[in-house]
Each structure stands twice: as C-alpha cells, then as structure tokens.
Structure 1
C-alpha cells in the first residue's frame, strides 16, 4: 500500500467544516457552464434590448445614441470586472447582496439587497409588459383593434403562468428554455440587422455624433443604455447550483457583457444609420426595426422579428425572476427576511417560497398599471426608470465594496481599485444626470423610482435598528461540508463519530 493509499484509507480527521452548508437545499453543482451563461444572457434579453432599449436611449440621447451605447458597454465591463473579484473567491445565491455584505458590512449589504430586489423585480415587470406589447403588435396584423386593456391583461396573466411553471420545475429547465428562446430571437434580429446594413450602405460619420454634442445627453443615454446590460451578473445567483462556480460564473458574467455589447453596437449603428438615411428621427418611431424593414423592402421580417422580441422578453422575465427568487432565498437563509423564504421544493429543490411571493408580485404590478389606464409601452417607459435606479445603486455599492474586501484579505491591486472606483463614480454621477433629464422630460417613472427607493430605505433603516446582532448572519455563502472533505468530521461531533 502506498502512502497515498494509506492516506485515503485512514485520513487525518478534519474538523473545520459543518455538517450542512448555509445554503443547503438547492440542487448543488447541477448545472454546467452553458446553463450558467444562459441565465445571464436570458436575463439581459439582448434581442429585446437591442430593439427596445436603443429606442428609449434615442429618446433621451438623440443624436448621441451611439456614443451613449459605447459608454454603457465600457461601464458594464468595468462593473463586471469588479463583480468578478467576488465571484472568483466565493459561491453565493445572494449575488451583489452577499458580496456587498462581505465587503462593507450588514447595513450596506442590506441596502444592496433592497436595491437588487428593486432591479430584478421591476425588470421582470418591464419584460412581462414588453412581451405583451409585442404579442399585441403581432395580433394586430391579424385582428386590427385587438389592442385593448383586457387583451393585454390576459397576455400578462398567461406569461405569468408560464413563468411560474418553469421556475418551479427547476433551474436546468428555466435556464435552457430561456436560452433557447433567446438564441432563436438573437439569430433572427442579427440576420435582419445585417441585411439592413447591406441595403443602407455607407453613411456620413457625422450621423452618429451630430453637432451640438451634449455631454449630459451622453451621460443620461449611457445610464439608460446600461439597462440593456443589467442582469449580466445574475449568473452569480446560481453559484450554489453551478459546477466549478469559481471558474464558470466569472466567465459567464464577462462573456455576457462582451457578446451583448457587440450586438448593441450593431443594433445602434444600424438603427441610427437607417433612420438618418431615411431623413427621420429614430425616437419618433414606435418600432424602429419594423419601420426600417418596411422602408427597405423587408416587410415579411417585421412579424417574425416582433415574435422574436416577444419571446426574448419572456426569456428575460424567466431569468430575472429566477435571480430575484435566489436573492430572496439567500435573505431568508440569512434571517434578514422571513426565514420561510429559505424553504425549497421537496422534489425540484427550487426556492418555492420565494417563487410563491415573487411571481404574483411581478404580475400584479403590470396588471395594475394597465388597469389604471396605461398602455404597455407607457408603463414600460416608467418601469425601466425604477429598475435602473435599483440596479445602478446595487452596482455602485458592490464597486465600493470590492476594494475594501480585497484589502481586508490582502489581495488588493491598483488595477482592481481603479476599475472599481471609476465605475462607482460614473454610476452615481450618471444616475443623477439621468434622473434629472427624465424628470425634466416629465417621465412619471422618476417619481415612482424615488418613492420605491424611499420605501426601501425605510425598510433598511427599520431592519437595521432591530439591532446589529440580528444581522450577524448576513452574507452567508456556500461552504464545503464535512461529508465532501476527505477525513471531514462535522463541527460538534465526537472524535470517534
């Protein structure tokens, strides 16, 4: 018997590990890199964002649309690089909530968690509304006049039913369904954009940065364009369920930003160039890709693209609500939220209690907005502001937390500090400019975002004032258990156990 054989047969006892992980119950190490990547890509919903968000950016940035998208892509990469400082070192379901708690402590972590819930929750609402909006556009080709509040409500409820079934059945199903839907949508959109570029032909470069150049327009547009990237970090919420998470999660986060950034630049370039060639304003169209398809003799593509965009929105809703439920699950396990949020389905091992709360919540909001008289598109314009405020606040907090965390563990580098600091300053400054610009434009979403954020701040203060000891469990992450370690003996067990 070799020394290795003897070590395996009679290992030295190791007592530093627990019998259970703090995040026990989820289907650990059950999904591979493709599923983790699918989560982030679907949460971003690139084909829907490439058409819908670019239009919203054009409404704010005007002729500076393309520069705004470029700035947003660089900023998203800076945030992704900073998030990966944590993702390479710990496995968690709470994503930015857990990371910020590890870096800045419980109150900042609680603030990041509240911001992240706002971001994931309202982007899910935005996605459900977007799906209903584009399905309605398709139906109108067949049945003009069908765009009524009742039809929109039925579509929202139908989407919610699909959402609930997929989420309950498990992460492998939800990730793969979302990814396949998104992949088909991206192929359709990219094919149309390439054909349009060929037909549009070369253009005057001044079409992309026309005078006068407004720095405020670029800043506001960049923040709105950043919402096209939000969700790229959601792969981190699958850390417990991912195989080789310290490698696969960071790869998925950065890969999503790079791929979607390339798509958004293609989409922005094509739409700006196409509308410039037509001599009309991009932001004056309700469906820019359809307008271009019609103008350049590609009428048949319009319905196909609309169906692809609707499917992309549904994929986004699935992925975003998946991330939302994982954060709620982590908060329940941390005893920050009610502990029953930490319950899992006995068979599917999904966070069933969090799903039971999240799905009705993200359904009631859009249904209520439609019932109040808003069209799906009008509601989307307001909801995206609330989501942006939540996401960007969470991003800024994790960017501040990263250098503190790295310094505490003795691994801070100058590059990491510069990337994180630059991203944090740009995020905060850009968000302020964006909210001011939207307020001046009369977007009610600004006041909605301030009201939601004020409510969240009140909850954070109330929770923090219950006592520091009640927050001691915050920031829990997945740990190896005694049964997974050679010679492992759970803490508290006897020497001969």
Structure 2
C-alpha cells in the first residue's frame, strides 16, 4: 500500500467540524452555473422589463430614456462587482441580508434583511400583476368583449397556483422552468427588436442617447426606475448553499446577468425611442410599445408572439423572486430572527416548505385583492414596483457600505473594490432620494412609507429580542465531507 493509499484509508483526524451545516435541509451542491444564471435571469425578467420598464422610464424621463437605462446598467454592474466580493468568499442563503450582517453587524443586517424581503415580495407581486395584465391584453385583442378585470383576477389566481407548484417541486425544476421560459422569451423579443430596427431604418444612437438637453432630476428619477429592470441579478447568491462550486459560479452568474440584460435593455430602449420618434408618437402614451411598433411596421403577429413571451417572462420573474424571498426568510429563521418553524425544509424535496407556505398567501393575496377591487393593473404595477425598488436599492446601499468594512476585517482590503462600493452606495442613495422626492406618484409614496415604517418596526423589535445573537449564518463544511473530519462529541453546527 502506498503512502497516499494509507493516508486515505487511515486519515489523520481533523477536529473542529460540525455534524450539520447551519443551513442544513437544503439540497446542497445540486445545481450548476446554468441553473444559477437561470435564477438571476428569471428574477430580472429581461423580456418583460425590456418593454415595461422602458415605458415607465419614458414617463418620468422622456428626453433621457436611453441615457437613464445606460446609467442604471453601469451602476448595476458596480453593485454586482461589490456583491461578488462576498459571494466569492462564502455561500449563504440569506445573500444581501447575510452579507450586510457580516460586514456591519446585526442591526444593519436586520435592516438589509427587512429591505430585501420587501423588495423580493413587492417585485413578485409586480410580476404576477404584469403577467396577468399582458394575458388580459392579449385575450382582449382576440375577444374584444372580454371583461379584462375578471380576466386579470383569474390569471393572478392561476399564476399563484403555478408558482406554488414550481417552488415546492424543488430548486432544479424551478430553475429549469425559468431558464426555458426566459431563453424563449428573450430570443423572441431580441428577434422582434432587430426586425423593427431594420424597418425603422438607420438609427442615430447618439441622438437616441441624448436627443436634447437633459434634466438631471428627470435623469436621476429615470435611472432609479431603470434600475428596477436590473434588480434581482444577485438572487443567484441565495442559492449558494445549493450550488456546485458556489464561490466560483455565483459571482459569474451575478455579473454575467447584468452584462447580458444590460445589452438587451439598451437595444430595447433604442428601438422603442427611435421607433416612436419616427412615427411622431409619444412612447409614454402607449399601452404596449413593442406591440404597437410591430403593428405600425407590419409585424403584428410577431408582436402578439412577443407579448406571450413577455407574460411568460413576468411569471418566471415571480418564480425567481419568490425563490429568493423564501430562502432569505429561511436564513433569518436559522439565525433566530424569525420563528424556528420557518426554517423547516421538506424532507424529500429539500425545499424551504415552511417559508413558502408563509410567504405565498401574502405575495399572491395582495395582487388578487387589488384585481378583485378593480384597481387598474398598470397603477398597481407602478405602486408595487416603487415599493420593490425602494427595498432593493436600500439593501444594495447597505451591502455596498458593508463590503469595504468586511474586507478590512478579514485582512483582504484593496482600494479598487472599495472605491466601486463607496461610489455605488453614494450614487444609489442620491438617486433613491431624488426618486422618492420627484419621481413617484402620491399613492406609491404612501405605500413606500408604510413599507419603510413596517421595516423599521421589524428591525427595532427583532434587534431588541435578538441582541445577543451573531447574525449571518452561512454554509460550512461538515465532518462527513472532510477527509478525517471529526465532530466533537455532542456538538453539531448551529441550528
């Protein structure tokens, strides 16, 4: 027997490992880079955002639509690089919540957790409404006498059932469903946009980027709205525990998602701005810009197909946002912030079943109630998007502030990542304040205020009750995975 064979057969005992990971119960090391990318892309929903968010940006920044989207893309890339500083060092289901807690401590971690829970939940609501709106829009074109209000209500209910089934079935199924839906949807929308550019004729990209004097306030408000087209790029980090080689694959999925979706959004913005300018019409007044352009340039059937893809993309976004939401709730439960029962997983499917059952009735119930009450889906989408954007951006600001502190604490501080993190935090903070002051309607502002108040109450109560805990549990090697690993008698990893 060789020395290597003897070492493997009778390894030297290595102490200090627990019997279970702090995040045990999830299906560890089961999904690859493609599934991770599918999660982030699904949460971003580029096919849906390429049309919906461009329309919303044109409403607040009509002369700077493309510029606002480019600015949001650059800013999102800076945040993605900052988030990756954490993701390449440890795997955590809590993602932004865990990262902030590890960098700035429990109170800041709780604030980030509250913000990101609000963000994920509100964007999931927005997505359910968006999918229902586009389905009602399509069916209304085929059957003009159809009651759109009832159609939206039924669609939200059916979508909620689909989301619940996919989430409970396991992460691999939900990731593959999201990948298939988004791949087809993005392909359809990119082909249609390319065809429209050909029919529109030569496009002056510089003129589209800055057609005239730009109002800085409008640009800032538009950039924040445009940033909502990117939010969710970091959600693959919530699958770090379930990922193969997470310290390598998660950062790649995060930054790659921003690059790819940014290219799609810029293409979509240039096409829509140039197309409506050539027609002499107002982009902000359109109900479905890509569909209207397709009809105007003789591509009506393609527009209908694209709308089907957009509705499906919204549904994939709801699945991706809920996937991230329930894992943050699961992580907060394992930290002792939320009730322990929310940290339970399905024994066979290895999904955070308790968090799914707790979150889904709220996330599905709000859009359903709004639809039953007859609220215009577009108005409801504007409100939920504003609330979601506020939660996301607040969490991004906190994690950007936390990154340099965390890197210094572990002795790996370098100048360039710190500069990116600080600049991103400052710009995000300024843009968010500008948006809340000048870029949102009164109902959305009230909704944001209520969400902020609830988050503050949560942070205050949780901080007082759990002051002695160290938050931010992350996945750790266990004794069974280490050659010679030995768990001390009577000791397991933190529950």
Same fold (TM over 0.5): yes
Matches within 5 A, 1:145-160: 145-160=145-160
**SS of the residue 1:63 aligns to:** coil
- What corresponds to 1:211 in structure 2? 212
- What corresponds to 2:101 in structure 1? 101
- Aligned-partner Cα distance in 1 for 2:17–2:218: 53
Q: Please give the per-residue CA displacement for 1:433-454, whole angstroms capped at 9, x wherever unaligned.
A: 1111234xx3411210111111
- What corresponds to 1:84 in structure 2? 84
- Aligned-partner Cα distance in 1 for 2:207–2:99: 43
**SS of the residue 1:465 aligns to:** helix
- What corresponds to 2:194 in structure 1? 194
- Aligned-partner Cα distance in 1 for 2:135–2:442: 25
Listed as ranges, the gaps of 5+ residues in structure 1 are none
**SS of the residue 1:93 aligns to:** coil
- What corresponds to 2:486 in structure 1? 489
Across the aligned residues of Structure 1 and Structure 2, the Cα RMSD in angstroms comes to 1.2
- Aligned-partner Cα distance in 1 for 2:14–2:208: 66
Matches within 5 A, 1:451-462: 451-462=450-461
- Aligned-partner Cα distance in 1 for 2:267–2:166: 32
- What corresponds to 2:464 in structure 1? 465
- What corresponds to 2:230 in structure 1? 229
- Aligned-partner Cα distance in 1 for 2:324–2:29: 17
Matches within 5 A, 1:339-358: 339-358=340-359
- Aligned-partner Cα distance in 2 for 1:121–1:328: 11
- What corresponds to 2:365 in structure 1? 364
Does residue 421 of structure 2 align to residue 449 of structure 1? no
- Confirm or deny: 8 A CA contact 1:207 1:276 kept in the other structure: no
Listed as ranges, the gaps of 5+ residues in structure 2 are none
- Confirm or deny: 8 A CA contact 2:55 2:289 kept in the other structure: yes
Matches within 5 A, 1:290-439: 290-439=291-440
TM superposition shift of 1:467: 4.8
**SS of the residue 1:24 aligns to:** coil
- What corresponds to 2:134 in structure 1? 134
Does residue 166 of structure 2 align to residue 169 of structure 1? no
- Aligned-partner Cα distance in 2 for 1:119–1:241: 22
- Aligned-partner Cα distance in 1 for 2:352–2:164: 12
- What corresponds to 1:115 in structure 2? 115
- Confirm or deny: 8 A CA contact 2:337 2:466 kept in the other structure: no
TM superposition shift of 1:153: 1.1
Q: Please give the per-residue CA displacement for 1:42-84, whole angstroms capped at 9, x wherever unaligned.
A: 1100000001011001111111001100100000000000000
474, 479, 493: which one aligns with 1:477: 474
The number of equivalent residue pairs is 490
Distance 1:2 1:195, change over 3 A: same
- Aligned-partner Cα distance in 2 for 1:29–1:172: 11
- Confirm or deny: 8 A CA contact 1:208 1:272 kept in the other structure: no
TM superposition shift of 1:148: 3.4
- What corresponds to 1:260 in structure 2? 261
Out of 406-415 and 2-11, give the one that drifted further.
2-11
**SS of the residue 1:17 aligns to:** coil
Q: Please give the per-residue CA displacement for 1:265-306, whole angstroms capped at 9, x wherever unaligned.
A: 000010111111111121111111011111111111121111
